[in-house]
Structure 1
Amino acid sequence: MARQKNYTASLKTITEGFETVENDIYIDLPRNPRNHKKLDHTKYLGLGFDAWAIQSLHVIRTLLHGENFSVATLISYSSNGLRYFLAFLAGGAVESPPATPNNLSKRHLERFVSWLKLKYPNGSTAKNYYTSFKSLVIVMADYGFVEGDLDDLLPPNPFPNNAQVTKDADPLTIGEMQRLLGALKSDLVAIHKGTFLGNGAEAMTVMLIITAARSGINTTPLLEMKRDALQPHPFIPSLRLITTMKRRGKGAQSKTIRQTNLLDEYSAIPLDGVAVLNKALEMSKTLVPLASKDISSCVWLYRSGQPGRSDEIATLTPSAVFSSTRSICERHALQDDQGNRLNVTLSRLRKTMENRLWKLSGGDILEVSSVMGHTPQVADNHYLRINDEIKAEGAIFVGEAFPDKLRGIHVTPTPPGGCQDSLYGNRAPKDGVTHCSEFIHCLGCPSYAIVGTLEDLYRLFSYQQFLYAEVEYYLTDEWETWRKRQFNYIQLIDAFTLQKFDPALVARAKAKAEASPHLFWAKKIEFIKKRRDGRI
C-alpha cells in the first residue's frame, strides 16, 4: 500500500516543494557533535538532478525544525546518503537515471547497492552509505516526494551477512579496563589538585570517559548532556538520575548512576559518576557566561587553547574526544593485553559495560537490554561479544543449557527460569517488539518453562527467596489470604523440582540461591528488607 502524504510541515505538493526553495538550498545548522556549520546543496545543481538536491533539503529543513531527529542524523542523510547516490547517478552507472525522487525505482536502488559494493568492498562503509540514503528516501516518502509503495521500492536485505565481514571494536578486557581507570584516576587527582598537565579538552575528556564508563550512555547524548541533567533518584538516596536525549527510539532517557561517600584508599576522591560529573560542572561553571548561546547549556565546556583563539570557549566534540583520549593513553603509556597501544573509544566502553552487566545478570539478555535502553536483538547483535573471559566464567551455564536447546527446546532466559515465548506468551504485550516483563507472575503463566539446568533451577529458587521476603514483610491480618497463596507457590516450587529433577541438582541450586540469590531478585529482596527495617 502506498504511503499517504504528510503535509503537516507545509509541504503542499511535489511541485510547490520544489519551487518554494529554489533559491534557498542551504541550511545553517545549530551546534552539533559533528561540528558541521551548514548543509549546502548548491554543489549538486546542474548535474541533471536538481529536484533531488532541492526536495531533499526541503525535507531535512522540516525535520530539523521538528527537533525529533538529531542534527548528526540529518547531516548523514545529506553527506552520507544523497552525496553518494548523486555521485552514482552522475557517473552514468545506470541508464535512464531518476531525475526526481518520485522517479526512483527498485532497479535504481539495486544498481546503487552494486556500485557501492564495488567501490567500498571492505568493512561496513557501503552499507552505512546505503542506510543513510534509504532513511532519506523513507522520510521523503513520508512527506509525499516519493509516492510509490516502499515495500516494492526498497530491496530486501541488500547487505546479507554484513556482520560477518565487519569487525566491531571489542570491549575492553578486565585488565585493560583496570589500567585505564587507574590512569584516569591519577589524572582526576591531578585535576583536583590543580597539577594536571593536559589541556582543557583533555581534562574534560577524562571526566567524560569516567562518566561514560559508569553510565553506558551513548556518545551523542553524552556529548549533548545539559547542565541540569543530574537529578536526585526518587527512591534510592545513593543513586542519581542522568537525563539525556536519545532521539532515535525513545526520546528522553534516564540512567541511574551511583554516588558514594566512601573515602578511597589513596585519596579522598571517589571515582564514581556523580562526583566526576559534579567536578565537570564546577570547572565549566565560570565558562558559561563566556560561551556562545548555542553551547552555554552544555556540560563539557573548556577554553580552546588554539593559537589566536586561546580564550574561545568550546565544548567537546567526537573529534576532540578522539584526539584527547589518544593523548591520555600515550601520556600514561597504556597498552592492551597484547602489548600494543590501548585504543579507547566511547563505544568500546559501552560494550565493556554491557559485558559486565551480562556477567552480573547470569546471561539474562532481557535484563541487560532493559538496563542499557535498547532491544535484546540490538544488544545481542552489536554489543555482547562473548570473549575468552566470559566464555571461561559462563562455561558451566552454556555447557548445561546447550544440549537442551539442541533437542529442540527453545526457551528465553528470565529471572525465575525461562519463557517459551517472551514476545507472544500469555502475559506478553504481543506487539512483536516488547518482551514480557511480568516476572512476578511467571509461575501462574502457561508460557513458563524450565529446562532443569543448575542455572535454571537457581533462578527459580532465587525467586522463591523473594517470595519468602515478601511474606515476611506483609505480616498484618489483611494480607493473610495473600500470604497463603505465596506459601502455596513456595511449596509448589519445592514439590515440582523434587518430582521433575535430580534431587542432588535441586539441593545445589537451592543452596546457591539461599547463599546468594540471582542479582535480579537480590536487589528486590534487599529493597524489601530495607523498607521492613525502616532504612528507607
Structure 2
Amino acid sequence: MGKRKVFTKTDLSVPQVKHRLDTAGNVVVLPEAIPPTNTTVKFGRNTSTSRGFDFARWYNASIDPITYACQRQIERFIAGQEGSVAISTVVGYCRNGLRSFLDYCVLRAAAFGRNLALTDVNRDLIDGYLSHLAWLGVATTNQKTIYTQTKPVLLALTRRGLFPLVASGDAATFPRNPFPNSNRKGKGETALTKRERQAFTAALRKAIRPIWTDDIPVTGDLIVFALLVVALHTGRNATPLIEMGRDCLRPHPKDNTVFLVLWKRRGYNTSKVALRSESDTERLLESTPSVRTNVESLIHRVIALTEPLDSEAPDDLKGRVWLYRSRSRTSVGQVTALSGQLVDKAIRRLVAEYGLNDSDGKPLRINISRLRKTFANRIFELTDGDLATTAAALGNTPLVADQNYLAPDEEARRNWQFMGEVLVQELLSLTIGSTYKDTPLGRCADPVGGQYAPKREGATCMNFMNCLRCKHYAVTADDLYKLFSFYFRVLAERSRMDKRRWAREYAHIPRLIDNYIVAEGLRRGSFKTAAVEAARERARSQPHPFWSVDLINSLEVFA
C-alpha cells in the first residue's frame, strides 16, 4: 500500500498580503484591501516601552501598497511566521526603520508626482533612502541603525516574492556595505575609573543594605540596586539580567559554588557564571572589592522576597526574579517586572542621592554596559593581562573581548597626552646635552634616581619603554638614529603580537616620536629635515645594535 499524502493545514489567521499578478508578473495589491480595517499593530508586553504602532499616517499618502505590505510583514513577525524574532526587535523595525523608510517613500512619491508601487522598491530607491538618512544630519552610526532596522522587513517581503530581489552586481537591491568603517566611528561605553568605581560601589552598598531587613517592602528601586550588584560582579548583559528566571541558580560540581544561568536571546543559548556560596563577610569576586555582598545570597534573598508576588504576576512575567508592586497611578499595586527604563530611572536617583560625579564634575553616567566594561577591565588587570581568562569571564571569544572591552580609557589617553607635552618642554630645555647621560634611546638626566629608575644603590634604570613618559628624558639631533631605531623596533612588534594589544600598549610610541619630538624639533630648528630623514633611513636599514631583533627578543623586558 502506497504512502498517504499528508496535506498541511493553512492557518487562515496568519496575516497575508491580498494581491494578484499583472501581465508582467508583478505583484499588484488588491485595491479593496487598502487600508486594512485596523491600521494599528499591537506588540503586547516587551522589554521596550512601546505597546503598539499605528500605520495610519502612511495610508492615502501615495504609497499605499508599500505601507500595506510592511504592516502585514510586521504582523507576520509578531505571529512568529518569519522565525523567532523578539518583539523588542520588531518594535525597533517599526519605530526606527519603517518610520524613516515610509517617510522617505512619501517624499519620493511627491517628488515623482505619482503613486509608488511595490515594483518601485529597487536599488535606486534604496540608494535614495541612504542619501535621505545622510541628509537628516544624524551620526553615521545612527544612520546604520535605522537602515539595519529597515532592511530585514524588506528582505522578508522579497522572500515572499512581493517584489524582486537582485542579489548581486551593480544593480543589487541592497548595497553590500553602505556604511564602511562605521565601527570606527561609534563611541562605545568606557569602563569606570578606579575612583568612580569605588564611589559607585560605596553608594550601592549603602543603598542595598535595607534588603536584609525583615518585612521590607519590595520596591522597584530596591531590586534595581540588587540587580546592579549582580551586574557589577558578573559582567552580564542587560537583557539576560533583567529577564533572569527564578531557577537561575543551579548546582555546581565544585563545593561552595553554584552556577548562575541566564538566557541569551540573541544567541538562543544560556550563559553560565560560577558564584561562590560563602558567608556575607567573605569577598565574592576580586573584580569589585568594594562590594562585599555575596551575590548568591543576595539572589536567594530577592527570590524569597518576591515569592509571594510570583503567583499574582501576569502569565508572561511568571517565573521572573525581579518582581515588584507598581506605584504608577495607572497600575498601582499591580505586580510587574523590571524594565530597562525603570533601571535607568533608579540609577539616576542613586547618582543624585549620593552625589556621584565623574572626573569633570558631571553626574556619573552608569548603565549595565559600563558595568560590563568595568568588570572586563578589572578581570584583565587582576589576571595580569590574560586575555583568554578575561574572555571566558565575559562569555566572549578572545577576539571580541579584546576589540570591544579592553580599549584604553580616557584617563590613559589623557596621561599619554600629558607626557607628550612634558616631552616637548624637555626638548626645549637649554641644558640638553650638558647634564644628560647617554642611553640607548637618547639622553637621561638621572639614570639612577630618575622617575622610573629602580632607585637602588648601584642600579641603573633600564626601563626604556617609559623613556618617552619620563621627565628626565631628552633627545638631541645626535640621538635621532637611536630614537628611530627604537621607533622601527616598536613598529616591528605589530607582526609579533595581537594587533589590538599592540594598539593598546605600543601604538602611542611612534605617534609621540612623530608628533612631539620630531615635529617640535623641526619647528624650533633643533633638528634639520635632512638630518631627520637621514637618521630615519639609516635606522630603517641598519638599526642601532641595541634595538636589533636578534639582540632583544621582546620589548617587554624593558616595560
TM-score (norm 2): 0.63
Could you tell me how far apart the structure 2 residues matched to 1:368 and 1:97 are? 58
Give the counterpart of 1:99 among 116, 120, 126: 116
Correspondence for 2:71: 57
SS in 1 for 2:327: coil
TM-score (norm 1): 0.66
Question: Which amino acid in the other structure matches residue 261 of structure 2?
Answer: T
Q: Pick closer, same or farther for the CA change 1:380–1:56 going to 2, 3 Å.
A: farther
Correspondence for 1:468: none
Deviations 1:29-88 (A, max 9, x none): 232110322233334322222333332333333333436222111111111101111111
Deviation at 1:311, TM superposition (A): 0.9
SS in 2 for 1:307: coil
Question: Which amino acid in the other structure matches residue 46 of structure 1?
Answer: N
Give the counterpart of 1:211 among 230, 234, 248: 230
Correspondence for 2:60: 46
Structure with bigger RCO (C-alpha 8 Å, 6+ apart): 1
Question: Which amino acid in the other structure matches residue 156 of structure 2?
Answer: V
Question: Which amino acid in the other structure matches residue 246 of structure 1?
Answer: K
Could you tell me how far apart the structure 2 residues matched to 1:379 and 1:126 are? 26
Give the counterpart of 2:371 among 327, 349, 355: 349
Contact 1:33 1:223 in 2 (8 A): no
Could you tell me how far apart the structure 1 residues matched to 2:345 and 2:153 are? 31
Give the counterpart of 1:176 among 169, 193, 196: 196
How do 1:324-335 and structure 2 match up within 5 A? 324-335=346-357
Contact 1:68 1:247 in 2 (8 A): no
Correspondence for 1:78: 94
Could you tell me how far apart the structure 1 residues matched to 2:397 and 2:160 are? 28
Correspondence for 1:452: none
Q: Judge which range, 340-349 or 67-76, deviates more.
A: 67-76
Percent sequence identity over aligned pairs: 23
Contact 1:30 1:294 in 2 (8 A): no
Instruction: Give ranges in structure 2 of 5+ residues lacking alignment.
Output: 1-8, 21-26, 284-290, 417-451, 453-462, 468-485, 503-548
What is the number of residues matched between the two proteins? Answer: 415
Question: Which amino acid in the other structure matches residue 242 of structure 2?
Answer: L
Correspondence for 1:133: 150
Larger Rg: 2
Could you tell me how far apart the structure 2 residues matched to 1:149 and 1:404 are? 50
Contact 2:278 2:294 in 1 (8 A): no
Could you tell me how far apart the structure 1 residues matched to 2:71 and 2:398 are? 35
Contact 2:262 2:271 in 1 (8 A): yes
Question: Which amino acid in the other structure matches residue 52 of structure 1?
Answer: I
Deviations 1:184-221 (A, max 9, x none): 1112212212598x981110110111111222222222
Could you tell me how far apart the structure 2 residues matched to 1:402 and 1:296 are? 61
Q: Pick closer, same or farther for the CA change 1:257–1:187 going to 2, 3 Å.
A: farther
Could you tell me how far apart the structure 1 residues matched to 2:556 and 2:68 are? 71
Correspondence for 2:182: 162
Could you tell me how far apart the structure 2 residues matched to 1:406 and 1:356 are? 28
Question: Which amino acid in the other structure matches residue 303 of structure 1?
Answer: R
Could you tell me how far apart the structure 2 residues matched to 1:343 and 1:352 are? 13
Instruction: Give ranges in structure 1 of 5+ residues lacking alignment.
Output: 1-6, 419-499, 510-536
Contact 1:76 1:132 in 2 (8 A): yes
Matched, 1:145 2:162: yes
Correspondence for 1:68: 84
Matched, 1:297 2:313: no
Matched, 1:200 2:219: yes
Could you tell me how far apart the structure 1 residues matched to 2:152 and 2:257 are? 38
Contact 1:325 1:344 in 2 (8 A): yes
Deviations 1:398-435 (A, max 9, x none): 98999667338635559xx99xxxxxxxxxxxxxxxxx
How do 1:252-401 and structure 2 match up within 5 A? 252-264=269-281, 270-307=292-329, 309-363=331-385, 365=387, 368-374=390-396, 378-387=400-409
Deviations 1:300-346 (A, max 9, x none): 11111123633112211111111111001111111223332211111
Q: Pick closer, same or farther for the CA change 1:231–1:105 going to 2, 3 Å.
A: same
